C-alpha cells in the first residue's frame, strides 16, 4: 500500500493553493519513497507573493512592536505543543534521527524566543543637547519586503533563522524553501497563522532557480537572506547586490578539528564522532577533517575507528516506540552516490579507508539512501576529498607534525565557517583561537554553532555579505536607521513654564 502524498501548497496573501503543473519529488530518505510533490513556482508566483507582502507591509509596520512580539510568544507556545509532529516531519522529509530533529526544531525555536524580545532590540539612541537646544535620536525602522532562500539540511531551523526576526522587526516576508524539504516549513507557517499573523505578512513560494531569480531582481524586495552551498551563495550575493538589495548569504564549509597530544581522548572521540557523523554529516558545521598533532593520532585512531564502526544506521521515519538508529540516511540517492565517488577517488589516490560505511544496507528499507560512518586516513591536501565539502558521514584524517602545521592546514581552506581544538593546554587553545581563520571557534567543543542571540559568523567562502544571520547583527540587517535632529522654537501656546 502506498502512503498518500502530503500536500505541498504555496502560501500567497494568506491563501494556501496547490497549483497544477510541474512538480519535483520530495522523498522520505529512509525508504526512498516519494512522499510529496513540490510545485515548481516561477516569476508569476513570486510576483504575486511580493505584491501580497508589499500590500501587508503598511499595516504590519504600524503594528506596535509589543503586539508583534505577542504573536511570536503564541507561535513559540504552538511550536512546543506541536513539537512531536514537527520533529517527525523533519525526520520524514530529511532523514535525521528524531533526536537530531529535536535539535533542529529547538535551535529554530530559540530564534523565535529571540524575536519575542523585539521591543527592546529595536531601541534607538538619543543625545540631548547635541548643540544648545538641539537633540538627536536614532529610530530603527523596517525595510519592507524581505526574502529568504533556504537549504535542505535544517528544514525547521534555517527558515526560523530568518522570518521570525525579519517579521518581528516589522518587515513582511517571502520564503522560498528548499524543494527537497518543503513540508515542515508549511506546518510551521500554519502554526504562525494560528498564532494570529495577519495575511500576507509571511508568504511561501516553492520552486528552484526561476523563483530565486525572480526574488533577486524584483524591485520591491529590499533584502535577501540565503543559506546554501558556496557557488549559489556567491551568485545570490552578486546578483542581489547588483539589483540594489541587502544580501546576507551563508555558504558551504569544511571545518577542521585539531587534536593535541594532551587531549582527553575519550571526550574527544565522542565529540569528534558527533561532529563528523551527526545528521549524517549534512551540517555546515560538521567537523569533517580531524588534524591529530604528533602522538595524538596513535592515541585517537583506535577508539575513533571503534566509535565509527559502532554507529548504527537505520530508518528514522517511525515514531516511538520504534527504536531509533544512531544515524539516518542522506538526503537523496544522487547525493549518496556523490559521497561514494569522492571516497573512492581518495582511495585510488592513496588514502586509506580505516572505517568503511560504504556498504550500509537496511533490511526493511532497501530503497533508502544509506551510508555508514566512514573514516579516511592519510588524506592529502591535493585530494578532492580534502578540498571539497563532502556533506556526508565521512571524516578525513590528516596527520600533522605540530600545532603550527595544523593551523596552517586549517587556514589554507577557502572556507571559514568553524574550527575546533581539543587540548588541555590553555596556551595551545589561546594560540589556536587567535590565529585560526574561521568565524566560529570551538575549544573542546566539536560543533561551535552559535545560538540565536549570537551571530552565525562564517568567514571567507562560507559567507558573502556584511551583517550575519542571528543576534543583533540580524536585527541590523532587517532594519534601517533614521537619525532625527530636532530643535523647537516658541509656539503659539505662549511661555508655558513661566508664570
Ligand atoms: P543549495 O545551494 O543546493 O540550495 C540552497 C537553496 O538554493 C535552495 O533553496 C535551492 O532551491 C536554491 N538553489 C539551488 N541551485 C540554485 C541555482 N542554480 N540558482 C538559484 N538558486 C538555487 O544547498 P543545499 O544542497 O540545499 O544545502 C546544503 C548546503 O548548504 C551545504 O553547502 C551547506 O554547507 C550549506 N549550509 C550552510 C549553512 C551556513 O550557515 N553556512 C547552513 C546550512 C547549510
Report the alpha-carbon distance of residue 352 to residue 289 in Å, rounded. Answer: 14
Tell which one of 205, 217, 228, 470 to mutate to probe ligand 1, the residue whose CB is within 8 A of the most ligand atoms: 228
ipTM above 0.95, yes or no: yes
Check whether the bond before 321 is cis (ω within 30° of 0).
yes
Q: Evaluate the CA torsion angle 208, 213, 214, 216 in order and state its sign.
A: positive
Is residue 406 within 8 Å of residue 384, measured between CB atoms?
no
**pLDDT for residue 169:** 98
**pLDDT for residue 491:** 65
Report the alpha-carbon distance of residue 10 to residue 218 in Å, rounded. Answer: 19
Q: Phi first, then psi: what are they for 53, rounded to 5°? A: -65, -40
Centre of ligand 1 to C-alpha 150, Å, is: 6
Centre of ligand 1 to C-alpha 142, Å, is: 26
Tens of pLDDT, residue by residue over 401-454, are: 999 999 999 999 999 999 999 999 999 999 999 999 999 999 999 999 999 999
Q: What is the residue-level pLDDT of the chain in tens, covering all 499 positions?
A: 567 999 999 999 999 999 899 999 999 999 999 999 999 999 999 999 999 999 999 999 999 999 999 999 999 999 999 999 999 999 999 999 999 999 999 999 999 999 999 999 999 999 999 999 999 999 999 999 999 999 999 999 999 999 999 999 999 999 999 999 999 999 999 999 999 999 999 999 999 999 999 999 999 999 999 999 999 999 999 999 999 999 999 999 999 999 999 999 999 999 999 999 999 999 999 999 999 999 999 999 999 999 999 999 999 999 888 889 999 999 999 999 999 999 999 999 999 999 999 999 899 999 999 999 999 999 999 999 999 999 999 999 999 999 999 999 999 999 999 999 999 999 999 999 999 999 999 999 999 999 999 999 999 999 999 999 999 999 999 999 999 999 998 766 666 666 6
Length of the chain counted residue by residue: 499
Centre of ligand 1 to C-alpha 347, Å, is: 28
Q: For cell 527558515, what's the residue?
A: 159
Report the alpha-carbon distance of residue 365 to residue 367 in Å, rounded. Answer: 5
**pLDDT for residue 465:** 98
Residue nearest to atom 30 of ligand 1 (CA): 228
Strands, E assignment, 47-200: 126-131, 134-142, 145-149, 172-176
> Of 146, 211, 279, 284, which is the active-site residue?
284
Q: What is the DSSP string of 426-493?
A: HHHHHHHHHH---SEEEES-S--PPPTTS-B--EETTEESSSPBSHHHHHHHTEEEEEEEE-----TT
Is residue 440 within 8 Å of residue 471, measured between CB atoms?
no
Report the alpha-carbon distance of residue 385 to residue 395 in Å, rounded. Answer: 10
Residue nearest to atom 21 of ligand 1 (CA): 209
Report the alpha-carbon distance of residue 231 to residue 184 in Å, rounded. Answer: 26
Residue ranges and CATH numbers for the domains of the chain are 10-251+462-484 (3.40.605.10), 255-443 (3.40.309.10)
CA 372 to chain centroid, in Å, comes to 24
Centre of ligand 1 to C-alpha 207, Å, is: 13
**pLDDT for residue 319:** 83
Tell which one of 42, 100, 150, 151 to mutate to probe ligand 1, the residue whose CB is within 8 A of the most ligand atoms: 151
Tens of pLDDT, residue by residue over 100-148, are: 999 999 999 999 999 999 999 999 999 999 999 999 999 999 999 999 9
Report the alpha-carbon distance of residue 406 to residue 417 in Å, rounded. Answer: 16
Q: How many CB atoms lie within 10 A of CB 340?
A: 17
Residue 211 among the catalytic residues: no
What's this model's pTM, rounded to 2 decimal places?
0.97
Which atom from ligand 1 is nearest to the alpha carbon of 179? 11
Cα-Cα end-to-end distance for the chain: 90
Instruction: Look at residue 382 and give its three-state secondary structure.
Output: coil
Amino acid at each position: 500500500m502506498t502512503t498518500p502524498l502530503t500536500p505541498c501548497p504555496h502560501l500567497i496573501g494568506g491563501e494556501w493553493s496547490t497549483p497544477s503543473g510541474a512538480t519535483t519529488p520530495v522523498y522520505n530518505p529512509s525508504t526512498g519513497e516519494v512522499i510529496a510533490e513540490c510545485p515548481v513556482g516561477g516569476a508569476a508566483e513570486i510576483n504575486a507573493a511580493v505584491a501580497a507582502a508589499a500590500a501587508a507591509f503598511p499595516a504590519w509596520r504600524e503594528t506596535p512592536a509589543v503586539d508583534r512580539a505577542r504573536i511570536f510568544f503564541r507561535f513559540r507556545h504552538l511550536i512546543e505543543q506541536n513539537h512531536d509532529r514537527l520533529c517527525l516531519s523533519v525526520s520524514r522529509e530529511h532523514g535525521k534521527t528524531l533526536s537530531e530533529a529535536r535539535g533542529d526544531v529547538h535551535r529554530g525555536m530559540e530564534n523565535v524566543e529571540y524575536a519575542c524580545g523585539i521591543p527592546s532590540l529595536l531601541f534607538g539612541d538619543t543625545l540631548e543637547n547635541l548643540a544648545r537646544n538641539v537633540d538627536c535620536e536614532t529610530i530603527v525602522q523596517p525595510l519592507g519586503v524581505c526574502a529568504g532562500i533556504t537549504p535542505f539540511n535544517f528544514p525547521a531551523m534555517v527558515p526560523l533563522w530568518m522570518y521570525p526576526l525579519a517579521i518581528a522587526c516589522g518587515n513582511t516576508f517571502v520564503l522560498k524553501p528548499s524543494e527537497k524539504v518543503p513540508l515542515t516549513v508549511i506546518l510551521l507557517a500554519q502554526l504562525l497563522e494560528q498564532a494570529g499573523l495577519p495575511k500576507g505578512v509571511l508568504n511561501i513560494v516553492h520552486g528552484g532557480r526561476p523563483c530565486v531569480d525572480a526574488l533577486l531582481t524584483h524591485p520591491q524586495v529590499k533584502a535577501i537572506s540565503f543559506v546554501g552551498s558556496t557557488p549559489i551563495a556567491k551568485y545570490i550575493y552578486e546578483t542581489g547586490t547588483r539589483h540594489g538589495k541587502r544580501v546576507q548569504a551563508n555558504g558551504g564549509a569544511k571545518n577542521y578539528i585539531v587534536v593535541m597530544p594532551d587531549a582527553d581522548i575519550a571526550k574527544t572521540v565522542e565529540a569528534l564522532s558527533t561532529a563528523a557523523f551527526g545528521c549524517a554529516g549534512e551540517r555546515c558545521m560538521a567537523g569533517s577533517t580531524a588534524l591529530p598533532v604528533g602522538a595524538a593520532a596513535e592515541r585517537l585512531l583506535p577508539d575513533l575507528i571503534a566509535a565509527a564502526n559502532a554507529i548504527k544506521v537505520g530508518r528514522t521515519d517511525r515514531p516511538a516506540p520504534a527504536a531509533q538508529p544512531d544515524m539516518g540516511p542522506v538526503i537523496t540517492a544522487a547525493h549518496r552516490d556523490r559521497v561514494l565517488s569522492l571516497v573512492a577517488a581518495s582511495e585510488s589516490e592513496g588514502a586509506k579507508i580505516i572505517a568503511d560505511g560504504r556498504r550500509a544496507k537496511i533490511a526493511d528499507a532497501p530503497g533508502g539512501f544509506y551510508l555508514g560512518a566512514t573514516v579516511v586516513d592519510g588524506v592529502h591536501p591535493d585530494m578532492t576529498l580534502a578540498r571539497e565539502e563532502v556533506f556526508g558521514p565521512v571524516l578525513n584524517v590528516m596527520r600533522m607534525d605540530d600545532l603550527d602545521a595544523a593551523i596552517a592546514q586549517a587556514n589554507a581552506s577557502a572556507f571559514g565557517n568553524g574550527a575546533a581544538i581539543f587540548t588541555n593546554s590553555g596556551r595551545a587553545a589561546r594560540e589556536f583561537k587567535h590565529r585560526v581563520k574561521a568565524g566560529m571557534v570551538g575549544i573542546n567543543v566539536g560543533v561551535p554553532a552559535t545560538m540565536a542571540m549570537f551571530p552565525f559568523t562564517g568567514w571567507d567562502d562560507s559567507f558573502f555579505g556584511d551583517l550575519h544571520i542571528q543576534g543583533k547583527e540580524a536585527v541590523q540587517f532587517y532594519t534601517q536607521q533614521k537619525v532625527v535632529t530636532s530643535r523647537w522654537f516658541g509656539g503659539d501656546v505662549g511661555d508655558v513654564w513661566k508664570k
